[in-house]
């Protein structure tokens, strides 16, 4: 990561420093004293707790300096009006100083997997940095930029949002050279009103891009394809739309693999992903589109994807002595639920869907949970639904043809796990999935612990 002096950071964010500390430098930033490393800038954020209360602990742990709104002592500090905004401005200054190429990735479903695949593809040719897990918001992404090694050539940055103007804020910091929109789904529709509203919010990524910046968009998504006449420098990827410049075909899905032919840049190549699901093929095509723009050879692209390993909790396959577990607990919306249930359907054995609520769906919530239940009836042998909307999923499953004694609804996690323990048997395949706030990984941990 780059060494930044307090004087330099203060110039970038318009902060005040004591002259005697102007040459103090820091490496990276952190807002959590539990994870703070020696030499970092401690960012005193206003949250549930006031970050200023933790300044003494941060300095004791070796923080080089503090980003704060006021000082209660004599220590290296950058004093600003708003520490969150100042953090973003410092990150923007560092991104420009390093002069790296930036790939910004957003979308309703699959952006984290696409980020990981894009990183893997680019890493074959460049020195690449990426946003860590959960670092895709107005705090995490700037900290990821400040953590980039000095010799970084390309940064792959995930951009999340659930309100208008959040992507605009992130793209103003990151200034992407290539912007990727994986798809337009229904997650966060509660705050954005409609899929058209979500499209508008995702397209804010263009605001931070130069006129010659490249967009890589999903050509199978009707809303994104509908933008083709209004956007310049667009490369479309897809499986169904034959007009896409990056096209996937001849897809064969196995229990743990996905093989397909990728056509791009006048080349065709056979790709074998070590994970299954048509949604993962689509994400791989997006990564191929970025690699193509960045001059990565087809051989390197195929090699990177064939060795790809996804992040923990994203369609992670766990084999125990008795069960096959599909751990996909990171997040969930209607589209990703459908994708994961399709993966479950492809597995051999009795299939059990353990599904938590999908959050932030607003007025669509009841209908979408009912639809997921209907889909579970088509893809699973049993359903264990968890959360306030579990009854809606259960009703959908029963209406879809699942027997009453195979579809269950629980609002208490312990009761869910207890019932699941009684029903599960050796050889079963269990999918654990739900929105981040449902903490389905805790249900899985409790289930496996009781199994021991």
Whole-prediction pTM value?
0.79
Is the domain of 252 the same as that of 109? yes
**What pLDDT, on the 0 to 100 scale, is given for residue 1?**
67
Is the domain of 241 the same as that of 300? yes
Is the domain of 42 the same as that of 105? no
**What pLDDT, on the 0 to 100 scale, is given for residue 193?**
83
- Whether residue 450 has pLDDT greater than 80: no
pLDDT one-digit tens code per residue, 147-171: 999 999 999 999 999 899 999 999 9
In a domain, 311, yes or no: no
Structural domain total, the chain: 3
Nearest in space to 182 (alpha carbons), one of 149, 144, 136: 136
- Whether residue 93 has pLDDT greater than 70: yes
Here the CATH number for the domain that contains residue 351 is 3.90.190.20
In a domain, 392, yes or no: yes
Is the domain of 20 the same as that of 159? no
Asked whether 144 and 132 are in contact (CB, 8 A), the reply is: yes
Average pLDDT in the 171-196 region? 90
Name every residue whose Cβ is closer than 8 Å to that of residue 184 and which is 6 or more positions away in sequence.
107, 108, 195, 198, 199, 202, 221, 223, 224
Helical H segments across 83-159, by residue range = 83-98, 111-123, 140-146
Is the domain of 349 the same as that of 437? yes
Is the domain of 66 the same as that of 122? no
Asked whether 259 and 249 are in contact (CB, 8 A), the reply is: no
Is the domain of 262 the same as that of 332? no
Here the CATH number for the domain that contains residue 280 is 3.40.1190.10
Domain boundaries, position 7: 3-85
pLDDT one-digit tens code per residue, 69-91: 999 899 999 999 999 999 999 99
Name every residue whose Cβ is closer than 8 Å to that of residue 17 and which is 6 or more positions away in sequence.
6, 7, 10, 76, 77, 78, 79
């Amino acid at each position: 990561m780059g060494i930044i002096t307090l004087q330099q950071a203060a110039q970038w964010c318009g902060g005040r420093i004591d002259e005697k500390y102007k040459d103090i430098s820091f490496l990276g930033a952190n807002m959590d004293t539990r994870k703070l490393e020696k030499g970092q800038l401690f960012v005193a954020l206003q949250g549930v707790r006031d970050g200023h209360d933790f300044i003494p602990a941060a300095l004791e742990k070796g923080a080089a300096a503090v980003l704060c709104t006021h000082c209660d002592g004599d220590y290296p500090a950058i004093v600003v009006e708003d520490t969150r905004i100042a953090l973003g401005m410092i990150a923007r200054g560092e991104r420009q100083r390093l002069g790296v190429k930036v790939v910004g990735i957003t979308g309703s479903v699959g952006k984290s997997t696409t980020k990981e695949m894009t990183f893997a593809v680019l890493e074959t040719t460049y020195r690449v940095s990426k946003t860590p897990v959960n670092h895709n918001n107005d705090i995490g992404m700037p900290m990821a930029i400040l953590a980039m090694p000095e010799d970084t050539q390309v940064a792959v940055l995930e951009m999340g949002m659930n309100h208008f103007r959040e992507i605009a804020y992130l793209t103003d910091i990151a200034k992407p050279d290539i912007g990727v929109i994986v798809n337009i789904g229904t997650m966060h529709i509660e705050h954005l009103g409609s899929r058209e509203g979500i499209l508008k919010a995702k397209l804010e990524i263009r605001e931070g891009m130069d006129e010659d910046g490249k967009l890589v968009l999903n050509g199978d998504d009707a809303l994104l394809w509908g933008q083709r006449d209004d956007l310049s420098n667009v490369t479309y990827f897809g499986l169904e739309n034959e007009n896409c410049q990056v096209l996937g075909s001849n897809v064969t899905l196995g229990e743990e693999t996905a093989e397909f032919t990728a056509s791009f840049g006048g080349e065709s190549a056979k790709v074998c992903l070590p994970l299954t699901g048509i949604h993962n093929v689509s994400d791989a095509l997006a990564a191929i589109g970025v690699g193509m723009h960045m001059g990565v050879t087809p051989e390197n692209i195929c090699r990177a994807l064939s060795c790809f390993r996804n992040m923990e909790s994203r369609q992670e396959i766990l084999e125990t002595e008795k069960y096959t577990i599909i751990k996909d607990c990171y997040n969930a919306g209607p589209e990703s639920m459908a994708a994961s249930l399709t993966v479950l359907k492809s597995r051999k054995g009795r299939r059990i869907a353990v599904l938590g609520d999908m959050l932030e769906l607003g007025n669509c919530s009841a209908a979408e949970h009912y639809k997921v239940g209907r889909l579970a009836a088509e893809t699973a042998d049993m359903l264990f639904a968890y959360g306030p909307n579990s009854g809606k999923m259960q009703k959908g499953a029963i209406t879809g043809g699942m027997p009453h004694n195979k579809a269950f609804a629980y609002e208490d996690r312990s009761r869910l796990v207890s019932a699941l323990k009684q029903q599960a048997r050796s050889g079963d395949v269990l999918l654990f999935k739900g929105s981040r706030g449902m903490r389905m990984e805790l249900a899985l941990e409790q289930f496996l612990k009781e199994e021991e």
